[in-house]
Structure 1
């Protein structure tokens, strides 16, 4: 399966934005497997960040994880204040405490403008962005989280396998 649509300016990206190697993760903030992949990906970016453009797309499995969508909304709201990755990381680093009150605590910790943050969470545009990410996952063949794509192709493996792939390429 290949990635649809291709990575664009509307995506959240970090690392080397001009890199030839583009890794896309479809993730759910409450998914334990995504939580386990997070430190591995963090390490990967520390080591290979200059060679990778890393993209995160929302894939909240709301039926299983009641806080997946609120967390995605919190990250998107933080994005409007320029702190998407800070919120993304804070959620994964504190995944076991996840609930709506805790998301607000994180927003305060990140020094976000709270009235603005609360207003933005209600913004239908953010719901549209999450739904668009989710839809793109469905058409790209994502059936669980985390799911990875490397240069537009579905990667059949987890975060550890990505590290192995990059180590092999580096040698």
Structure 2
């Protein structure tokens, strides 16, 4: 099986500053730059969730580490930046992954009222959540993700890096959507490099 592979490298290595599922010293570390309003980012995330579950069962929980970094494309997605801020505001309250899941599940409903509704569903301190978003407390954090993506050659979301090597998902997916089998093959190949 062949798949497009771009040899550009991940400029900013994975760290504890990232949003992580798994352990940083896993056999395979998968970093995705995503946009909550981008349907292709949501599709890639759903595939990765399926793969992570499968690999966890078959190869153990320390085989795959999944990292999400923000890459809101504000020029085409008017709610992406605010959704990223909501995810960061939830992260401070220990609810990044549940909010992350909610945002991707409700991509067509990312207006401010919806974000507050999601925060409420997650049991967040709404006063703190609203304060953080209104004061744009997490803009620098999001911009750091964007800058690290740009330095790594990311021009659109989603962008996928497996063990520090870029695998085209974003631009390539407009012509061809990746499958579980293709991403799984890329992960296995990276593990054997």
> What is the TM-score of this pair, normalised by structure 1?
0.91
Match of 1:5 in 2: 12
2-structure distance, mates of 1:85, 1:159: 23
Kindly state the Cα deviation for residue 8 of structure 1 after the two structures are TM-superposed.
1.2
The equivalent residue for 1:14 is 21
- What corresponds to 2:174 in structure 1? none
Matched residue, 2:92? 80
1:169 and 1:154 map into 2 onto residues whose CA distance is 11
Cα drift, residue 167 of structure 1: 6.0
Q: Is 1:29–1:92's contact at 8 Å kept on the other side of the alignment?
A: yes
CA distance in structure 2 between the aligned counterparts of 1:42 and 1:155, rounded to whole angstroms: 17
Native 8 Å contact 1:15 1:45 kept in 2: no
Which residue pairs with 1:98 in the alignment? 110
CA contact (8 A) 1:41 1:159 kept: no
Mark the CA change 1:74 to 1:23 in structure 2 (over 3 Å): closer, same or farther: same
Contact 1:29/1:71, CA 8 A, preserved across alignment: yes
- 1:131 and 1:144 map into 2 onto residues whose CA distance is 15
Structure-1 residue corresponding to 2:64:
52
Kindly report the root-mean-square deviation, in angstroms, between the aligned alpha carbons of the 2 structures: 1.8
Equivalent position to 2:163, from 138, 151, 157: 151
Distance 2:187 2:166 in 1: 16
Deviation readout 1:7-44 (Å, 9 max, x if unpaired):
11111100234312100000000011112222212111
Distance 1:133 1:169 in 2: 23
SS in 1 for 2:65: strand
CA distance in 2, matches of 1:4, 1:168: 21
Residues 106-165 of structure 1 deviation map (CA, whole Å, 9 limit, x = unaligned): 000000010011112234541000001000000100111110001111113446321233
Counterpart pick for 1:130 among 142, 147, 165: 142
**1:61 maps to what in 2?**
73
In terms of Rg, which structure is larger? 2
How far apart are the structure 2 equivalents of 1:115 and 1:47? 39
Larger proportion of helix? 1
